[in-house]
């Protein structure tokens, strides 16, 4: 899955939730560069517009829709509108998510726990169901955004870890349920990806928890976290996008129910 690998996405359309975020943007550029039409969904319309503007030079059609994935009705309506505008969807990157608070289990805020579950589990379910209903006549591929937090729960991230374990479980079940429709369902589990807003936020909030696992200085936390990775470096946004592209591609046509753990060798 090198940065130079190309896949045959010409004439195909990919829908990306969380399309205004760092990973959504990188994935949109990856697919547009290989000829796919892009449908971007996000709750932040301003950032959606900015991402769409940045994709103009790729030469691929780009469509944007505001969408709150926690609303089943809104997700259904947006999927229908996307099909009406593009003709057909072939791939869905179920990427919208919320990292949540950083706190010890006995101090974790209940309201934030509910918010994480509403977006990362219920929202992922809404998109997964709408994607399945949309793709079942023609087949296709779905990639759910999980996380290494859903494989090896990190300290001070109770809600996020719970939500991503759930995403991996939904992926495995959906892969079995949707195989008769020639719909492949896989998950992607990045670990430490950066630099960027999410990486900076994570190190700062981990530093503020006051746990035995991390220093109180975010700069020291950065190094502690990077040192936990055998390759001793952060993953890149482009490498995550490459993973999505591989799982959607014909080269992965026999892969379903798989969780690609992008962790730098952990």
pLDDT digits (tens, 9 = 90+) for 62-97: 999 999 999 999 999 999 999 999 999 999 999 999
Q: What is the pLDDT of residues 35-59, one digit of tens each?
A: 999 999 999 999 999 999 999 888 8
Has 254 been annotated as catalytic? Answer: no
Identify the pLDDT of residue 8: 83
**pLDDT over 70 for what percent of the chain?**
96
Identify the pLDDT of residue 262: 81
Q: What is the pLDDT of residues 93-122, one digit of tens each?
A: 999 999 999 999 999 999 999 999 999 999
How far is the C-alpha of 142 from the C-alpha of 168, rounded, in Å? 13
Whether the per-residue pLDDT at 263 is higher than 90: the answer is no
Torsion of CA 81, 49, 89, 176, to 10 degrees: -110
Whether the per-residue pLDDT at 3 is higher than 60: the answer is no
Q: Write down the catalytic residue from 91, 108, 160, 254.
A: 160
The pTM score is 0.95
CATH no. for 13-193+236-262:
3.40.50.720
With vertex at residue 47, the alpha carbon angle to CA 45 and CA 50, rounded to the nearest 5 degrees, is: 115
Write phi, then psi, for 40 (nearest 5 degrees). Answer: -110, 130
Write phi, then psi, for 193 (nearest 5 degrees). Answer: -115, 130
Average pLDDT, the chain: 95
Q: What is the pLDDT of residues 195-208, one digit of tens each?
A: 989 899 999 999 99
Identify the pLDDT of residue 265: 46
C-alpha neighbours within 13 Å on the C-beta side of residue 177: 12
Identify the pLDDT of residue 4: 47
How far is the C-alpha of 171 from the C-alpha of 166, rounded, in Å? 9
Identify the pLDDT of residue 230: 86
Q: What is the pLDDT of residues 158-192, one digit of tens each?
A: 999 999 999 999 999 999 999 999 999 999 999 89
Identify the pLDDT of residue 165: 98
Are 96 and 119 contacting, i.e. CB atoms less than 8 angstroms apart?
Answer: yes
* Contact residues for 21 (Cβ-Cβ < 8 A; gap 6+): 42, 47, 95, 96
């Amino acid at each position: 899955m090198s940065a130079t690998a190309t896949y045959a996405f010409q004439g195909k359309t990919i829908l990306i939730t969380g399309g205004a975020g760092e990973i959504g943007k990188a994935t949109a550029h990856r697919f547009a560069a290989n000829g796919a039409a892009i449908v971007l969904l996000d709750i932040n319309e301003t950032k959606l517009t900015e991402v769409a503007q940045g994709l103009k030079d790729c030469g691929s059609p780009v469509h944007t829709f505001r969408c709150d994935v926690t609303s089943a009705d809104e997700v259904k309506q947006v999927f229908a509108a996307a099909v009406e505008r593009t003709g057909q969807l072939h791939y869905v990157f179920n990427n919208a998510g919320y990292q949540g608070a950083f706190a010890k289990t006995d101090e974790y805020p209940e309201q934030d726990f509910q918010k994480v579950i509403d977006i990362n589990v219920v929202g992922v379910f809404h998109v997964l169901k709408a994607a399945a209903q949309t793709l079942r006549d023609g087949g296709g591929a779905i990639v759910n955004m999980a996380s290494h937090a859903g494989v090896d729960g990190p300290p001070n991230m109770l809600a996020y870890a719970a939500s991503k374990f759930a995403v991996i479980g939904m992926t495995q079940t959906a892969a079995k349920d949707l195989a008769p429709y020639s719909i492949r369902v896989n998950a992607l589990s990045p670990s430490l990806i950066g630099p960027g807003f999410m990486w900076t936020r994570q190190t700062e909030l981990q530093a503020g928890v006051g746990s035995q696992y991390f220093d109180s200085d975010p700069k020291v936390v950065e190094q502690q976290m990077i040192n936990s990775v055998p390759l001793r470096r952060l993953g890149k946004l482009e490498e995550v996008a490459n993973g999505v592209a591989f799982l959607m591609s014909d080269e992965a046509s026999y892969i379903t129910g798989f969780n690609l753990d992008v962790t730098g060798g952990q």
